[in-house]
Amino acid sequence: MARGIKKKIQQAVRKLSYRTTVDQLKKKGINRVNVVGIDRISALIETAVHRTLKARMALGFNPNLTHGEIANETRAEFLRLLRNKESLKKVQEETEEEKESLKSQVASLQNELQTLQREIEEKRQRFVREERVRTAAEDQELVLAVQELLGQAKLGAKGLDIQEELLSLFLGRLDEERKRVRAQKELELRKEVDLLNRRLQKVTKTLDHTEGRLQEALTGVTEDLGVSSIYKEVQGLSSQDPEFKKKKTLMTSIFEANLELQQKDS
Amino acid sequence: MTDEQTNTNSATDSEAGAEGPSKEHGVLYIGVDLGTSRTSISASNGVRETVASAVGYPKDVVAMKLLGKEVLYGDEAIKKRLSLNLYKPLEHGVLKSGDGEDSEGNLRAAKDLLQEAIRLAKARKDELVYAVIGAPAQASIHNKKAIIEAARESVDSVMLCSEPFAVAYGLDWLEDVLVIDIGAGTTDLCRMHGTMPEDADQITLTYAGDYLDQELFKAFQEACPGADFTINMVKEIKEKYAYVSGSSETITVNLPVSGKPTPFEVTEVVKNTCKKIIPPIVEALGKLVASFDPEFQERLKGRVLLAGGGSLIRGLDRAIEDGMHQKLGSGRVIRIEEPIYGGANGALKIAHDMPEEFWEKLK
């Protein structure tokens, strides 16, 4: 049954459409067109009719409602559905693009981080290696200089003790200074790595969020859209209502009681 | 362009482009029936939902991690109550009040429940949302303010109305009608005579669903020796089997005795206990009829509407009619078609009929 209706809708839509070619459109100055499949149109019409009838039935059947009014409501529902589909597709495409862009950002940052970490490690090792060689040479030079200086002073047997004390003092101070410089350099390196780690975490979080949005768009769980009301405007009591006066009085009483209550509230 | 594709109307594009965050794309009306046991909503987008009036908050971080939510509602909250601080914020038809933490907890739960109910209506962000909430007839001003405050956070404008009035309005029965709305906490009786019901037109009884649960619990303790059961189990049995007149197939329930499910036949126990709410209702109907204009008393007796979850007790309409015949000489009771949504549907109709300027003034 439902299949038959769908087929009839498709036939009707096809009958109402006209055939044209790309060249003919170009001649009219049209270079870009929006294209929608006939299946989608018929599905939207079907949904619009069902939703309108469902909403009507929920409010109780109104025998005063004309065919024209029902047709208008259905048309409005159809347009709303069409807009929903369009915005959903747009969100989907945007999210896909955003996701791809973020993915590449993450990959590039991960590469950057790895390269930097590798470089930093190499630098640190080289620095340690070179420092070891340099400090050994400097220490040797210092020892020789001290020995030479004390040799010239001709201090005799006492000279060896003084030489040892002096060397121990010099080398101790030198070592402390070297440690301070090394710590400072390591701190700078660590800051650089931390900064990169933070950037990476941020991008990864954004990627997770985007993937969530994409999933929502794909499954159609875009709760934000909600379900459209059948009313475009505020309604109010119809003057055609057989009990208009009585109902108007009741509405006024309810309003006044609420106004009093809410004024007390404020 | 293939045969299966058609050029769309360009008017659609311009309409789609106009859609923005401003609320100019429609009006969603919501009718809410805030009940002790269940809260129901009907909306002008065709959505109708009902949720048990229970709200649960995880007891600790472990429970929160396990449940994956900060707040649980309805049957889910009841089901997972062991991990939750569970609140049933309405009692005897009104918000539970008192001092201290429990009162604050109930108020918070009531707000959360109301917001959840409105959320269930699936309102679009670009639509105005106007709600009418059927509040218990006996709700205090403090209670009403709390309800309005809670709803305001989710809607553009909100009004309260009396629940039984909403039921009658929803069915277009505005004159010479008696409404019996049997909820969990209270049974509200309301006399309609074309104007807003006053205090003298309303009677509230506590002979309602919760009362029956307690009575059935006591009756089961006598009728089912050795059985272990809770008030929730009794409530489930009541909702499944409750009846007061006519014949019923044998009601057999399985209750655990020392851990082993054991069958008990409770047909008469259920019937006799459920019948306990009939005399007070008939008594109250008598009072409302007797104090009405004598010229219209006969008409009033012939137009009694039975609504609320309690009206689902099989044979209750007939039993009340019998009681009215005995006490008042005549009576005709009509059970409304949708007891669960009767109040919400009526509130929705009031929302629809409310003039625009009234909504605007209450924004």
- B161 vs B150: CA distance, rounded Å: 16
A255 lies within 8 A of chain B by CB: yes
Chain A window 231-250: which residues touch B at a Cβ cutoff of 8 Å?
Answer: 231-237, 241, 243, 246-250
Check CB contact under 8 Å for B26 and A229. yes
- A83 vs A89: CA distance, rounded Å: 10
- Domain span at residue B36 reads 26-53+88-168+342-361
Return the pLDDT at B228: 93
Q: CB pairs under 8 A, 24+ apart, for A253-259?
A: A253/B195, A253/B196, A254/B159, A254/B161, A254/B196, A254/B350, A254/B354, A255/B159, A255/B354, A255/B358, A255/B361, A255/B362, A257/B160, A257/B196, A258/B159, A258/B160, A258/B362, A259/B361, A259/B362
Question: Cβ contacts (< 8 Å) between B15 and chain A: which residues?
Answer: 79, 83
Question: Cβ contacts (< 8 Å) between A252 and chain B: which residues?
Answer: 358
Return the pLDDT at B154: 81
Residues B284 and B208 in one domain: yes
List, run by run, the mean pLDDT of 10-residue segments along chain B (363 residues): 36 36 72 89 89 92 85 92 88 64 79 89 85 78 79 86 88 90 89 84 90 95 92 91 83 92 92 95 95 90 92 93 94 90 92 90 82
Any domain includes A232 = no
Spell out the residues 6+ positions from residue A9 whose beta carbon is closer than 8 angstroms to its own.
A41, A42, A45, A46
Residues B191 and B319 in one domain: yes
Are A70 and B37 in contact by the 8 Å Cβ rule? The answer is no
Any domain includes B69 = no
What distance lies between CA A44 and its chain's CA centroid?
30
Best residue in A234, A237, A255, A256 to probe B by mutation, most B CBs within 10 Å?
A234
Any domain includes B162 = yes
As given in the structure block, the two tokens for residue B1 are: 């362009």
Helices (H), chain A: 2-16, 22-27, 38-58, 67-153, 158-219, 244-265
A142 lies within 8 A of chain B by CB: no
Any domain includes A239 = no
CA A227 to chain B, closest CA, distance in angstroms equals: 6
Are A242 and B184 in contact by the 8 Å Cβ rule? The answer is no
B17 lies within 8 A of chain A by CB: no
Return the pLDDT at B1: 36
- In this complex, which of A33, A233, A258 lies closest to B27 when CB atoms are compared? A233
B352 lies within 8 A of chain A by CB: yes
Residues B318 and B352 in one domain: no
- Domain span at residue A128 reads 101-222
Question: Cβ contacts (< 8 Å) between A236 and chain B: which residues?
Answer: 353-356
Report the C-alpha dihedral over residues B354, B359, B362, B363, rounded to 10 degrees. 150
Chain A window 162-191: which residues touch B at a Cβ cutoff of 8 Å?
Answer: none
Tell me the pLDDT of chain A (266 aa) as tens digits.
455 666 666 676 666 667 777 777 777 777 776 666 666 676 777 777 777 766 666 555 566 666 667 777 777 777 777 776 677 677 777 777 776 776 777 677 677 767 767 777 787 788 788 878 888 888 888 888 888 887 777 777 777 788 888 888 888 888 888 888 888 877 887 887 787 777 777 767 767 776 676 666 556 555 557 777 888 778 888 888 888 888 888 999 889 988 888 886 55
Residues B134 and B247 in one domain: no
Residues B138 and B201 in one domain: no
Where residue B226 falls (left for φ over 0; alpha for ψ -120 to 50; beta otherwise) is left
Residues B223 and B273 in one domain: yes
Check CB contact under 8 Å for B29 and A264. no
Return the pLDDT at B12: 33
Return the pLDDT at A101: 74
Residues B100 and B180 in one domain: no
Residues B222 and B347 in one domain: no
- A138 vs A136: CA distance, rounded Å: 5
Check CB contact under 8 Å for A37 and B26. no
Any domain includes A130 = yes
Question: Cβ contacts (< 8 Å) between A232 and chain B: which residues?
Answer: 25-27
Question: Cβ contacts (< 8 Å) between B27 and chain A: which residues?
Answer: 229, 231-235
B267 lies within 8 A of chain A by CB: no
10 Å Cβ neighbour count for B11?
Answer: 9
- In this complex, which of A79, A236, A248 lies closest to B15 when CB atoms are compared? A79
- B115 vs B126: CA distance, rounded Å: 18
Question: Cβ contacts (< 8 Å) between A59 and chain B: which residues?
Answer: 44, 348-349, 352
CA A34 to chain B, closest CA, distance in angstroms equals: 6
Return the pLDDT at A5: 61
- B51 vs B43: CA distance, rounded Å: 15
Give how many domains chain A has, as a whole number. Answer: 1
CA B216 to chain A, closest CA, distance in angstroms equals: 36
- B354 vs B151: CA distance, rounded Å: 18
- Taking only the tens place, the pLDDT of each residue in B33-42 is 988 888 999 9
Return the pLDDT at B230: 92
Q: Which residues pair with B33 in a beta bridge?
A: B40, B134
Give the count of Cβ contacts less than 8 A between chain A and B: 165
Any domain includes A169 = yes
ipTM: 0.81
Please report, for the domain that includes residue B147, its CATH number.
3.30.420.40
The two beta strands, B90-91 and B94-95, are antiparallel
Check CB contact under 8 Å for B127 and A229. yes
Q: B229-252: buried (b, 16+ CB within 10 Å) or exposed (e) per residue? A: beeebbbebbeebbbbbeebeebe
Give how many domains chain B has, as a whole number. Answer: 2
Check CB contact under 8 Å for A35 and B29. no
Residues B272 and B327 in one domain: yes
Chain A window 21-50: which residues touch B at a Cβ cutoff of 8 Å?
Answer: 22, 33-39, 41
Check CB contact under 8 Å for A54 and B46. yes
As given in the structure block, the two tokens for residue B197 are: 């019901």
One-letter amino acid of B311: S
- Taking only the tens place, the pLDDT of each residue in B140-192 is 677 788 788 888 888 889 998 888 889 999 988 888 899 999 988 889 899 98
Residues B234 and B356 in one domain: no
Half-sphere exposure of A13 (CA within 13 A, CB side): 24
Any domain includes A142 = yes
